[in-house]
Amino acid sequence: MRIDERVLDRILPTVRKPGRYTGGEYNSVAKDWDTITVKVGLAFPDVYDLGMSNLGLAILYDILNQEKDVLAERLYAPWPDMEAAMRQAGLPLYSLETHRPLCDFDLIGISLPYEQLYTNALNLLDLGGMPVLSQERDEGYPLVMAGGNAALNPEPMADFIDFFVIGEGEQVILEIVEAFREVRDAEREAQLRRMASIPGIYVPRFYAPSYFEDGTLAKIEPLVDEADSHVVKRITPVMPPPVTKFIVPFVDVVFNRASLEIQRGCTRGCRFCQAGMIFRPVRERSMEEIIQTVDAIVRQTGYEEIGLLSLSSTDYTKIGPLVKALSEKYQDRSLSLSLPSSRVESVTVDLVDMLAHGRKTGFTFAPEAATDRMRDVINKSISTQELLEVADMVYSRNWRLIKLYFMIGQPTETDQDVREIGQLARQVLEVGRRHHGRKAQVRVGVSTFVPKPHTPFQWAALDDLDTIRRKQAILKEELRQAKGIIYNWNEPAESLLEASLGRGDRRVGQAILRAWQKGCKFDAWHEHFRPDLWRQAFQEAGLDQAWYANRPRLADEVFPWDHIDAGVQKRWLLMDWYAAQRGETKIDCREHCFNCGILTAFKGLRALTPPNAWECPPIRNPRWKELAEQGKVVGLTPVVRKVMAEAKSQA
Amino acid sequence: MSQQRLRATFVKGPQLKYISHLDLALAWERALRRAGVPLAYSQGHNPQARLQLASGLPVGYTGAAEVMDIILSQPMPPGEFMARVRPALPEGLSVTDAEEVPLKGPSLQSALREAVYMTRVETSLQADELTQRIANLLAADQLVQQRTRKQRLENFDLRPLMKDVWLEAHGEHHIQLGMRLCAGQQGNVRPDAVLAALGLADAYVQVERIRLMFEFDSL
């Protein structure tokens, strides 16, 4: 049943930005609810303005709505003023397309890109009229799935989510829909067993964790046949067709532009970077396809800006010719291009000139550390000299603002390393002054390093709160009276929460539940974040935030995400962690394969893709291609193992 | 290349009634880009599309005949303009008329004088009671009311801004009130002020602006 529009009409004039809650945007798809058999609600657990910029959900929305007998609609977290009004009026969380309550859908997909959205995810379920605990929802409720970067450690949210989609969703989403058709009328247990049999799907209730006396994890064991001991992430072997019919929001949103993924994954191997590890292998979209797509996007959306997305846009092989071709083609149509991430070593004069449209917002670099030694530790080996030369070039091409992103708290960091961040910022400003005098600006964003699962730094500790504050004070002192430098930093308590959730185990779910019950939500929003309530929530759950966040891990510790396989092997990550401490660097893996594990995990898939489709070296042994073509190898490690075992036993 | 000024009349339907004035202008700009209409842009560092809506419609109101001017960088016959734009519009937005007007000439904002509204109010007030209240309102010399402007409360006289108010229709639980009010830079008032003066401030109400009247229209 649709929600009561009259009630909504009463509420909307009283809330901020009511256009967030009405739907009907150009390119949104409202299908006939009564004739479609599988209905998927795609939910982003933050406000519309942020959720609309999420490319992952836009891709799934596009794929699902292209299916004749499937519909996908969007749901976002209402801002607190709207939530209060909805709760008071008894309005449930509803979808934007046809204004249906959350609990009327068959499947709900929640995007979990980062940990600060966990309480909002619970709040969404509750506002949608559903129990937040998975065990309390029977087959009368929709199946709740979640995916995204944070799902690579699903354990903290295991109590709330029915199943997790590990890795890329493009292919598996339709497998899930088909599986749902088979088990629509089955009991919840049978529904979930069917889901567990899909490669890349993790159903937490079919796995039991056990712990050692010291509180660390002993093992996580599968309980049913359908549950694989290792859930390997899904990937699309070649870049999937890009979205062109982006929904065009009426209200201003955070990234009010279309996004086009020009490349997926990154070959650089920065040791702190989760995306760089979990999005392997690196796949590029062809230049021809990008140019055609930009054209289609402009025609179908009318957007005036397109972001060319990649973890490291300037590493795209033909970035120069691409940007040149695009800026020539659109110079009179006021289309601006943005490259969200540029590497110091791959920026050229031509590129800087062609991105001139963005001059007003400044040129961004993320050296992450200020000393050559630290940059070797984190494996982001650019030299200070190089950075200053590039800064000189950028300022000389009429840009006045350079933004620099750094991280404090990375392993082996000394106070001197911190101090030099300030000195480097001053040096860059000096360069700018030569070109623009007092109008030159440097904006320095200093975040706190948070160790992430599936990275070489997953064994590292988060600095304790006092250390973070001391380092931030050093920087404040260092940048005092530096006119022309704007310094931003992260609230230490926010990093503590991110770290204690990010590497949490299943017990952390209790803390999340309690925090939400105490009123925590919008934890990613400074004005709503309540560290005091979180502290209490952890305490009441019998847990210590510091134990999760600030404790260095031993080499042989079992991690809560060890059974979730992102392709890169734990053994390889450990070797890289040791290399970091010795200050050893690894070059771009396009130059030399370091055998991180991706090719082992996806051998079959690699055998079936053309050599230039991935940056990883091709598989030369024809036997793999044969097996893959027979459909025996989908490229997923456990499956590979089974096939190999079968082959052996037959021999 | 010769520029051209087109004046378009459009409907802002109920689907869009919560979209603000600025957001509506951007929605139009994007729709025109989708339609391949050659929009002219302002010169300078941050080029803006030369598109002008006559008057912001308060959030929550619908508009049956809103007006805007668009400067094109190359001429296009109004008929072709309408044909191109129609398929590029979101639901709730439709263009009903377009005509060419002189490139130079007063802006819509400066030429706007009055607006006609139709309101549907849920109330169980009797017709004769309402007619009486309207008559009292129109008979008054002065109607001092309060409104907030720039976050400050100020007094203003509603009476001279109110050209006409009439009872259009009367049902068991609702009434339809028509009103013609001053609009534009020389004096502007919203229908809620009139509703408040009639003692209908808390009623559930739907408002549609049905006409904009300009200096160059015969008032």
- The pLDDT value given to residue A304: 87
Give the nearest chain A residue to B49 (CA atoms): A334
Measured in whole angstroms, the distance separating CA A259 from the mean position of its chain's CA atoms is 15
Optimal mutation site among A250, A252, A294, A297, interface B, most CBs of chain B within 10 A: A250
Is there a contact between B34 and A297 (Cβ–Cβ < 8 Å)?
no
Mean pLDDT of B33-53: 87
CA distance A44 to chain B (A): 22
Cβ within 8 Å of residue A24, ≥6 positions away: A30, A96, B15, B16, B90, B91, B92
Q: Count Cβ atoms within 10 A of the Cβ of residue A98 and give its class: 0-12 exposed, 13-18 middle, 19 or more buried.
A: middle
Optimal mutation site among B15, B18, B120, B205, interface A, most CBs of chain A within 10 A: B18
- The pLDDT value given to residue A625: 82
Longest Cα–Cα distance in chain B: 62
> Quick one: pLDDT band at residue B149, thresholds 50, 70, 90?
confident
Tell me which DSSP letter residue A72 carries. E
Q: Using one digit for the tens of pLDDT, what is the confidence trace for B167-193?
A: 999 988 999 999 999 999 989 999 999
* Dihedral of alpha carbons B73, B78, B79, B84, sign: positive
Nearest to B23 among A6, A251, A302 (CB): A251
Query: Which pair of tokens denotes residue A142?
Result: 């929709």
Q: Is the Cβ of A250 closer than 8 Å to some Cβ of chain B?
A: yes
Q: Which fold has domain A5-232?
A: Rossmann fold (3.40.50)
Q: How far is CA A584 from CA A385, A453, A576, A580, in A?
A: 20, 21, 9, 6
Cβ within 8 Å of residue B112, ≥6 positions away: B54, B55, B183, B184, B185, B212, B213, B214, B215
Angstrom distance (rounded) from CA A206 to CA A340: 40
Q: Is the Cβ of B172 closer than 8 Å to some Cβ of chain A?
A: no
Q: Do A19 and B33 touch (CB under 8 A)?
A: no
Among A180, A174, A169, which Cα is nearest to A64's? A174
Q: Is the Cβ of B90 closer than 8 Å to some Cβ of chain A?
A: yes
Angstrom distance (rounded) from CA A372 to CA A376: 6
Q: Do B60 and A25 touch (CB under 8 A)?
A: no
Secondary structure tally for chain A: helices H, strands E: 24, 19
User: Which residues from chain A sit within 8 angstroms of residue B91, using beta carbons?
Assistant: 24
- The pLDDT value given to residue B130: 92
Nearest to B92 among A24, A303, A304 (CB): A24
- The pLDDT value given to residue A114: 95
Residues of chain A numbered 17-56 and touching chain B (CB < 8 Å):
18-19, 21-22, 24-26
Angstrom distance (rounded) from CA A189 to CA A186: 8
Tell me which DSSP letter residue A621 carries. -
E strands, A131-286, are 143-147, 163-165, 201-202, 207-211, 217-222, 231-232, 258-261, 263-264, 283-284
Q: Do B23 and A360 touch (CB under 8 A)?
A: no
Query: Which pair of tokens denotes residue A553?
Result: 């891990």
Is there a contact between A567 and A601 (Cβ–Cβ < 8 Å)?
yes
Q: Do A10 and B204 touch (CB under 8 A)?
A: yes
* DSSP sequence for chain B: ---EEEEEEEEE-GGGTTS-HHHHHHHHHHHHHHTT--B-B--SSS--B-EEESSPPPTT-EEEEEEEEEEESS---HHHHHHHHGGGSPTTEEEEEEEEE-SSS--HHHHEEEEEEEEEEE----HHHHHHHHHHHHH-S--EEEEEETTEEEEEE-GGGEEEEEEEEE-SSEEEEEEEEE-STT----HHHHHHHTT-TTS-EEEEEEEEEETTS--
Residue A526's CB is within 10 A of a number of other CB atoms, namely 10
Residue A322's CB is within 10 A of a number of other CB atoms, namely 22
CA distance B94 to chain A (A): 13
Nearest to A250 among B27, B34, B47 (CB): B27
Is there a contact between A551 and A496 (Cβ–Cβ < 8 Å)?
no
- The pLDDT value given to residue A356: 62
Domains of chain A, residue spans = 5-232, 364-375+393-507+543-584, 587-650
Q: Do B34 and A300 touch (CB under 8 A)?
A: yes
Query: What radius of gyration, in Å, describes the C-alpha atoms of chain A?
Result: 25
Is there a contact between B133 and B148 (Cβ–Cβ < 8 Å)?
no
Strand order in the sheet with A201-202: A70-76, A38-44, A107-111, A143-147, A163-165, A201-202
- The pLDDT value given to residue B41: 87
Q: Do A251 and B20 touch (CB under 8 A)?
A: yes
Angstrom distance (rounded) from CA A98 to CA A24: 9
Angstrom distance (rounded) from CA A560 to CA B122: 59
The whole-chain average pLDDT of chain B stands at 92
Give the nearest chain A residue to B17 (CA atoms): A19
Strand bridging mode B93-101 / B4-12: antiparallel
Is there a contact between A93 and A127 (Cβ–Cβ < 8 Å)?
yes
Give the nearest chain B residue to A257 (CA atoms): B30
Q: What are the b/e assignments for A270-289, b being 16+ CB within 10 Å?
A: bbbbbbbbbbbbbbbbebee
User: Which residues from chain A sit within 8 angstroms of residue B30, using beta carbons?
Assistant: 26, 248, 301-304
Optimal mutation site among A26, A247, A252, A359, interface B, most CBs of chain B within 10 A: A26
Q: Do A302 and B90 touch (CB under 8 A)?
A: no
* Dihedral of alpha carbons A47, A48, A53, A54, sign: positive
- The pLDDT value given to residue A640: 56
Q: Is the Cβ of A87 closer than 8 Å to some Cβ of chain B?
A: no
Nearest to B30 among A12, A22, A303 (CB): A303
Angstrom distance (rounded) from CA A330 to CA A219: 56
Query: Which pair of tokens denotes residue B164?
Result: 């006409």
Residue A421's CB is within 10 A of a number of other CB atoms, namely 27
Q: Which residues does residue A143 pair with via DSSP β-bridges, in sequence order?
A: A107
Q: What is the ipTM of this complex?
A: 0.88
CA distance A41 to chain B (A): 21
Query: What radius of gyration, in Å, describes the C-alpha atoms of chain B?
Result: 19
Q: Do A250 and B204 touch (CB under 8 A)?
A: no
CA distance B217 to chain A (A): 32
Among A155, A119, A161, which Cα is nearest to A142's? A161
* Dihedral of alpha carbons A505, A508, A512, A513, sign: positive
- The pLDDT value given to residue A651: 64
Is there a contact between A573 and A458 (Cβ–Cβ < 8 Å)?
yes
pTM of the model: 0.93
Residue A18's CB is within 10 A of a number of other CB atoms, namely 20
Q: Do A251 and B31 touch (CB under 8 A)?
A: no
Helix (H) or strand (E) holding A60: helix A55-66
| pLDDT less than 50: residues of chain A | none
Domains in chain B, CATH or no CATH each = 4-105 (3.30.70.580), 112-214 (3.30.70.3190)
Tell me which DSSP letter residue A205 carries. G
Q: Do A26 and B31 touch (CB under 8 A)?
A: yes
Q: Is the Cβ of B91 closer than 8 Å to some Cβ of chain A?
A: yes
Cβ within 8 Å of residue B138, ≥6 positions away: B162, B164, B165
Nearest to B91 among A24, A302, A304 (CB): A24
Q: Is the Cβ of B88 closer than 8 Å to some Cβ of chain A?
A: yes
Q: Do A302 and B204 touch (CB under 8 A)?
A: no
Angstrom distance (rounded) from CA B53 to CA B57: 10
Helix (H) or strand (E) holding A601: helix A598-601
Q: Do A302 and B15 touch (CB under 8 A)?
A: no
Q: Is the Cβ of A356 closer than 8 Å to some Cβ of chain B?
A: no
- A282 in the Ramachandran plot: left (φ > 0), alpha (ψ -120 to 50) or beta? beta
Q: Is the Cβ of A302 closer than 8 Å to some Cβ of chain B?
A: yes
Measured in whole angstroms, the distance separating CA B63 from the mean position of its chain's CA atoms is 6
Residue type, A602: F
Strand bridging mode A564-565 / A231-232: parallel
Q: Is the Cβ of B92 closer than 8 Å to some Cβ of chain A?
A: yes
Cβ within 8 Å of residue B205, ≥6 positions away: B119, B120, B121, B122, B192, B195
Residue A549's CB is within 10 A of a number of other CB atoms, namely 24
* Dihedral of alpha carbons A97, A102, A104, A110, sign: positive
Residue type, B164: D
Residues of chain B numbered 18-77 and touching chain A (CB < 8 Å):
18-20, 23-24, 26-27, 29-34, 36, 41, 45-47, 59-60
Q: What are the residue ranges of helices labelled H in A437-569?
A: 465-478, 492-502, 508-517, 531-540, 545-549
Cβ within 8 Å of residue A339, ≥6 positions away: A307, A308, A313, A314, A319, A323, A355
Helix (H, G, I), strand (E, B) or coil at A74: strand
- The pLDDT value given to residue A638: 53
CA distance B29 to chain A (A): 8
Interface contacts (A, B; CB < 8 Å): 70
Q: Using one digit for the tens of pLDDT, what is the confidence trace for B84-94?
A: 999 999 999 99
Angstrom distance (rounded) from CA A408 to CA A472: 8
* Dihedral of alpha carbons A532, A534, A535, A536, sign: positive
